[in-house]
Each structure stands twice: as C-alpha cells, then as structure tokens.
Amino acid sequence: MQPLEPLTILIAEDSAADRLLLASILRRQGHQVLTAANGAEAVDAFREQQPHLVLMDAMMPVMDGFEAARQIKALAGETLVPIIFLTSLSESEALARCLEVGGDDFLAKPYNQVILAAKIKAMDRLRRLQDTVLQQRDQIARHHDYLLNEQRVAKAVFDKVAHAGCLNAAPNIRYLQSPYALFNGDLLLAAFTPAGDMHVMLGDFTGHGLPAAVGAMPLAEVFYGMTAKGYGLAETLREMNAKLKRILPVDMFCCATMLCLSFQRRSVEVWNGGMPDGYLHRIASGERTPLPARHLPLGVLSPESFNERTEVFPMARGDRVFLLSDGVIDTCDANEQLFGVQRLQQVFAANRQPDALFEEIEQALRDFGGEARDDVSMVEISLLEPEQITPPTLVYSDSGQSCPLDWSVSFEFRAATLKRFNPLPYLLQLLLEVHGLRAQSGALYSVLAELYSNALEHGVLGLDSSLKRNASGFARYYQERNARLGGLQEGYVRVHLQVAPTDDGGCLTIQVEDSGEGFDVERVMERPLDAIRLSGRGISLIRQLGRNARWTDNGRSARVEFIWEALA
C-alpha cells in the first residue's frame, strides 16, 4: 500500500467552528485545505482550484450541499472527485439522497478522526484507480487509431497490388469480397495470358491481420509476372509454392484455387489446394460439377514433392465457374452451428437467376443468423465468346532502336525436357523483341501454343484428339496426357523461327516438327474453318490467326507465317 500523498481537500461547511475543526484535523494529516461557507462558494472554489476531494455539509444557506455536489460532479466530468457528505441527518431517505446526487460516501457528525482518515484514504484509492483506468483507456484508443491508420495505408497498397489485373475490367468476372477480407488472408487475382486466356486465383492465407496479408505481395507478384509472360498454371503454381515455402514460417500457408479459362478452347483448367469445393455450373443442364481440393495448400510442401497436376473441363458459352472462401461455409450461428456445404447447395438448387446468386447466398447467410464475417470472398467467371473479351494491350518500355530484324534460330526439345519444361514463354519473349510482332502478340502466342501442344500431344504422345469430342472423353484425354507425359522416354519437338526483313516490314516463319506418326492432312483440311467442336479446334485456329498455314511430311511438320508493315 503506497503512503497517502498529500491531497488538496475542499471543506464546504456553514458552521465556522466545524470548518475550523475539520481544517485543523486535515492539516495535521498532511493535506492542503480549501474552505467554503456555502454550496455556491464551494462550486466556485472547485472551479478555480480543482481539489482532489470534497467534504460537503448537506444543509447550507445560499446553495445546499446536494445542489453543489451535482454541479461539482458535472464540472469534474470523467475524473473522479470523491464527495463525502458531512451530515447530522439520520433518516435513511436523506442519507440515500446524498448518494443519489453523486456523493460517494458520508460521515456522521460529530467527527471521528480515525474514521475520517480511513475514508479519505479509501476514496483516494478509488480516485487513483479511476485515473489509471482513464489513462489506459486513452492509451488503448490511441493505439487502436494508430493500428487502424496502419491498416488503411497497408490496405491501399495491397489493393493496388491485388487489383492490378483485370479483376475490375473484365466483363465476365463478378466478385464479392468483404472490405477487409485481405486482412483475413483472402486474396483474389485475375489476369490475361498473352494468348488471351484468363488466369484467376482465389487464395486464403492462414491466420488473421497483417501477418495473413503479407504473403499476398509475393504471391501476386509471381501471379502477374508469370501470367503475362505466358507461363501456364503448372509452372506458376510450382513457383508460387517454392516462393511461399521459402519465405513463410512453417505454420503459415495459403489455400488456393487457380484457374485457366480458355475462351478459344472453351475449357477450364483447375488446381485446388485446400480450398472449399468450387463449382463448374453448366447452364444448359443446370448441373454443378464440384471442383474439389486435390492438393495440399501452397507453401507446405518442398519444391521436390509439390504436385502441380491440374484437371481440365470443357465449357460451353455462358457456363460459369464459382469459387468461394471458407468464410462462407464456416459462418457460425449463435449455437456454433456452421452454415455448411449443404445449405450452400440448397441455395444453388433454389437459384433461378444465375446473376442473383451472390445476393441469394448473402441473404441465406443473414437468414441463417450468422455473425457477419470479414473473410467472405466469392467470385464467378463466365465463359464468353473470344470476341467479347479484349485483353489489355501490353506496354513496352524500350525504344525499338535495337530491334533484331534478320535472324533464325532452331530448337530441339527432347523427352526429358518435354516432361517438365514449357518453352513457350521463352520463345514468345524472344519474338517480342521484334517490334513489328508486338501488335499481334496474342495471335502469335495462341498459334505458337497450338502448334506446340499439337506437336507434343498428337505427335510425340500420340493422343487422339477425337477423344475430346464429348465431356467425359475430354477429362480422359487430359488424364491420359499426364500419364503418357510422365512415362515419356523418347521423342522430340523442333521449333524453327526465322525473321526476315521485307520491303515494307518483315516476315516471321514458324515451323514446328515432331517425332510422332503424323496425321491425314487432307482430311483435316477439308473440315470447315469455323466448326464448333471440342476436338481439332487447334488447326482451324492456326489457319485463322496465321498466314499460309501448311502441313507437310504427313502432318509431322507445320509451318505458318506472320507478317508486319514497317512502323511509322
């Protein structure tokens, strides 16, 4: 118990004798004393000198003690200024009134010195306690403001990073995220590949607050960087996993679903590591195919054990892919019951207007009586016609003075390389050094990608594209592709690129050869160009986007040109 510090005590008492007596007792106990002869004087004295404690007679002329106590309490505000009523009153009603007007205690006349000292000590303890509480409250409020401000600043930066892609610009994406979802670890990214495909990622980091949000930066960087360069899901995911594994503490990881939506091929490629089931909604049949987690989250496994195997599903125009974070299905009601997948599927079943789905899910969450959570993320991506989608034009920073215009190069990619290496981003980078080709980078990449995958899948791996004619065959085709690629022992894909200047521009010739069996070129060429089929779309795409497309050597060698006019 700390020794009593001297206090400034105001005595309000109309009897001069009592006033004198009390003042001398208090002075002897070491306190400073102020005196007032009635309530009005007491209020004035309080206003001028702010004593720590007041001894107040109840019955006084001009203004009685009750009114004075009320006014002093009002002036003191949040600070506790204890008021001890001095009273010869004995009816309980009057004593109760002393406390009702704000008095903290009372002391019966005649005064007992020991009790007076004890009461002052007790009131001083209360006064100090209140002081400490107020100080701590203000400190917490200051820290809180500070944190909120930090979050606001960080959110502004993160929003720029996370929304750098086409999330808001693309007409086929709808999403809903609670405002501070990122600070609960939810991350949503979308961007176009050079071929005009769309990569979308919904991620969910472990933990909450800033620690959960910091991982978003490196992840977004890898996502945008590699997507823009033309890397596929497998390479991008492998890189993300390696990066997160390297920089995050052991107990932090990122559940994620990543998609590649191809408008040209009408398909979606999916990798799900630890996220709740996504759904592929086929509008024609109303069927919803779940896209379940097949993998551990990103950042858990070492690069050697990471599995980037994806699944591919065919889509029709208007079909939608719906992804959500666990904030939706883990919303709890008052009894700690989870909203759950079943309730979500009931909302799906009741849904009539596909565009109203988000609102219906939100309504269902409210009806469920769930506590509003700040980590609810939903995104829906629909498959449009390629013409309805306009990928942003790329911005280049070099001047064009050192543009290479007369060269050729040949590559041969052999079995061990074909298994795990995607040469397309490198080839595209190389070709985009030629300024005249940049305006056609999308078509160029699409054609390169089709030529390469034809050579690899139908040529080297000997896969029959007619497998892809229906939906179940489509899935089987990609399973078979993975299996054959995994067991590949020999074979090659050769790529020859030749850039030559012409009178008014230049010409690129791409030639791709493979070690496969070839195909019946004439029969394939007879097919109409615009046929809408799941199979064989590659060839008609190449013929539409490139110039003078030709297949020789029984289909084992493909050749196509791109030309451009000199830049002004």
Q: Give the interface with another protein as residue ranges (CB under 8 A).
A: 204, 206-207, 250-253, 255, 273-276, 292-297, 300, 302, 305, 326, 336, 338
28's CB contacts (< 8 A; 6+ apart) are none
Q: How near is the Cβ of 445 to another protein at its closest, in Å?
A: 33
Q: How near is the Cβ of 120 to another protein at its closest, in Å?
A: 44
Structure tokens given for 9: 């005590």
Q: Which 3 state secondary structure label does DSSP give 163?
A: coil
How many CB atoms neighbour CB 303 within 10 A? 12
Q: How far is Cα 22 from Cα 190, in angstroms, rounded to an integer?
A: 79
Residue 101 or 255: which CB sits closer to another protein?
Answer: 255
Contact by Cβ (8 Å): 542, 507: no
Q: How near is the Cβ of 295 to another protein at its closest, in Å?
A: 6
Q: How near is the Cβ of 222 to another protein at its closest, in Å?
A: 21
| Strand 198-205 with 186-192, pairing | antiparallel
Residue 255 or 432: which CB sits closer to another protein?
Answer: 255
| Strand 320-324 with 8-12, pairing | unpaired
Q: How near is the Cβ of 493 to another protein at its closest, in Å?
A: 33
Sheet (strand 320-324) strand order: 173-177, 377-382, 320-324, 278-281, 288-291
Of the candidates 148, 220, 157, the residue with the CA atom closest to the CA atom of residue 186:
220
Structure tokens given for 45: 């004295």
Q: How near is the Cβ of 307 to another protein at its closest, in Å?
A: 9
Contact by Cβ (8 Å): 481, 467: no
**Phi, psi dihedral angles at 201 (to 5 degrees):** -135, 130
Residue 209 or 473: which CB sits closer to another protein?
Answer: 209
Residue 274 or 442: which CB sits closer to another protein?
Answer: 274
Q: How far is Cα 323 from Cα 167, in angstroms, rounded to an integer?
A: 14
Contact by Cβ (8 Å): 84, 26: no
Q: Which 3 state secondary structure label does DSSP give 500?
A: strand
Q: How near is the Cβ of 185 to another protein at its closest, in Å?
A: 8
Q: How near is the Cβ of 272 to another protein at its closest, in Å?
A: 9
Residue 43 or 240: which CB sits closer to another protein?
Answer: 240
Q: How far is Cα 411 from Cα 184, in angstroms, rounded to an integer?
A: 47
Q: How near is the Cβ of 377 to another protein at its closest, in Å?
A: 14
Residue 273 or 506: which CB sits closer to another protein?
Answer: 273
Residue 302 or 402: which CB sits closer to another protein?
Answer: 302
Contact by Cβ (8 Å): 411, 421: no
Residue 336 or 503: which CB sits closer to another protein?
Answer: 336
Residue 155 or 245: which CB sits closer to another protein?
Answer: 245
Residue 204 or 269: which CB sits closer to another protein?
Answer: 204
Residue 208 or 559: which CB sits closer to another protein?
Answer: 208
Q: How near is the Cβ of 300 to another protein at its closest, in Å?
A: 7
Residue 91 or 251: which CB sits closer to another protein?
Answer: 251
Q: 536: number of CA atoms within 13 Å, CB side?
A: 16
Of the candidates 17, 71, 79, 7, the residue with the CA atom closest to the CA atom of residue 45:
71
Q: How far is Cα 301 from Cα 304, in angstroms, rounded to an integer?
A: 8
Contact by Cβ (8 Å): 123, 103: no
Q: How near is the Cβ of 337 to another protein at its closest, in Å?
A: 11
Q: How near is the Cβ of 243 to another protein at its closest, in Å?
A: 17
Structure tokens given for 485: 């690629």
Q: Which 3 state secondary structure label does DSSP give 145?
A: helix
Number of H helices, E strands in the chain: 18, 20
